[in-house]
């Protein structure tokens, strides 16, 4: 029997991708990044986040938390080891796959393309590219984020980053990778720490890039990069929230309440004592 989605059980953190959510989950608690909490912490069983870090502070604050539903790709903002210790399950939606893939596709120039990362956004991008590339005799290559690529050359006109942030991908896009290119078109939806901003600035001064489209850009050398005139920084807006994403979120939350989650990142440990 399905449990009813109650306002008191659900907390949606972060607002940027939740426009229209009331149509799917009416009267839900929504807390923006800078807003104070206005909900009873002991009743919350499911928290959904996009930017909020999930670690000891959150896990201690919500003693009856059962699930974290991450609205994104990758889980670098969630301490999975701590969630496991607390018995909290973790599951992710696949939001903005269509929007992100189309955003990248619109930025590509004619020529061969190398894509770093092979998650859902990358796979959808490949589907969008398939017909055009085959008809026009072009090619694209896909590199898993765990594969170490030391540098690339002018065989490619586009470099695309869809990699998650982890130990292998931090500072992945650096001087060594791009030193042998000229007039490269770089398109990235990856987290800011995958880009070495100091190296990117040096590469721009050496005319290695024609254009850079970067969705998340760290603060170091950010203004200098923007001032070059060839860096298009979109401030983490390369996605467009769609109704299908909100419906998926509602369905996953319902599954969490029913303890019937498909393909969780981390299973919930059910033999925990709840506080009242």
Residue 82 covered by a domain = yes
Distances (CA, A) of 264 to 14, 89, 269: 21, 7, 12
pLDDT tens string for the chain (276 positions)? 555 666 578 999 988 888 888 888 887 888 887 788 778 889 899 999 988 999 999 999 999 999 999 987 667 789 999 999 999 999 988 767 878 898 999 999 999 999 999 888 899 999 999 988 888 888 899 998 666 787 898 999 999 999 988 888 999 999 999 999 999 999 999 989 999 999 999 999 999 999 999 998 999 999 999 999 999 998 876 665 567 788 889 999 999 999 899 889 999 987 554 444
Q: Does a structural domain hold residue 121?
A: yes
Question: Is 273 a member of any domain?
Answer: no
Rounded-to-integer distance, Cα 225 and Cα 217, Å:
10
Q: How many domains does the chain have?
A: 2
Same structural domain, 75 and 148 = no
Residues 111 and 88 in one domain: no
Are 103 and 87 within one domain?
Answer: no
* Structure token pair of residue 166: 């982890």
Is pTM beyond 0.75? Reply is no
| CA-CA-CA-CA torsion sign (51, 55, 56, 62) | positive
> Can you give the CATH number for the domain in which 45 is found?
3.40.50.720
Please tell me whether residues 86 and 182 are part of one structural domain: no
Residues 199 and 104 in one domain: yes
| Bridge partner residues of 15 (DSSP) | none
Q: Is 208 within a domain?
A: yes
- Is 11 a domain residue? yes
Same domain, 21 and 75: yes
- Clarify whether residues 19 and 147 are in a common domain: no
Q: Alpha-carbon distance 215 to 190, whole Å?
A: 7
| 124 and 166 part of one domain | yes
Is residue 160 in some structural domain?
Answer: yes
Structural domain harbouring 61: 7-95+241-257
The phi, psi pair for 162, rounded to 5°, reads: -125, 25
Please indicate, yes or no, if residue 250 is contained in any of the structural domains: yes
- Within a domain: residue 24? yes
Q: How far apart are CA 171 and CA 240, in angstroms?
A: 27
Residues 211, 105 share a domain? yes
Please check whether residues 181 and 210 belong to one and the same domain.
yes
Residues 220 and 128 in one domain: yes
**Shared domain check, 78 and 12:** yes
Strand 158-161, strand 46-49: pairing: unpaired
Q: Token pair for residue 129?
A: 């590219």
- Residue 276's pLDDT is 43
């Amino acid at each position: 029997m399905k449990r009813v989605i109650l306002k008191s059980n659900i907390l949606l953190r972060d607002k940027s991708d939740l426009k229209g959510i009331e149509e799917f989950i009416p009267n839900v608690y929504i807390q923006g990044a800078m807003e104070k909490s206005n909900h009873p912490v002991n009743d919350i069983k499911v928290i959904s986040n996009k930017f909020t870090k999930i670690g000891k502070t959150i896990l201690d604050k919500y003693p009856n938390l059962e699930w974290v539903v991450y609205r994104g790709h990758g889980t670098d903002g969630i301490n999975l080891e701590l969630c496991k210790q607390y018995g909290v399950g973790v599951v992710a939606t696949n939001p903005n796959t269509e929007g992100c893939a189309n955003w990248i596709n619109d930025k590509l120039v004619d020529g061969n393309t190398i894509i770093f990362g092979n998650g859902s956004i990358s796979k959808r991008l490949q589907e969008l590219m398939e017909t055009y590339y085959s008809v026009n005799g072009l090619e694209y290559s896909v590199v898993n984020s765990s594969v170490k690529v030391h540098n690339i050359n002018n065989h490619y006109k586009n470099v695309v980053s869809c990699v998650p942030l982890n130990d292998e991908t931090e500072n992945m896009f650096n001087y060594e990778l791009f030193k042998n290119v000229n007039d490269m078109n770089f398109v990235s939806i990856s987290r800011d720490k995958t880009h070495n901003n100091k190296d990117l600035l040096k590469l721009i001064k050496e005319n290695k890039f024609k254009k850079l489209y970067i969705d998340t850009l760290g603060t170091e050398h950010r203004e200098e990069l923007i001032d070059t005139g060839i860096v298009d920084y979109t401030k983490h807006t390369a996605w467009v929230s769609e109704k299908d994403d909100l419906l998926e979120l509602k369905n996953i939350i319902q599954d969490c309440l029913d303890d019937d989650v498909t393909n969780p990142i981390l299973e919930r440990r059910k033999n925990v004592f709840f506080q009242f």
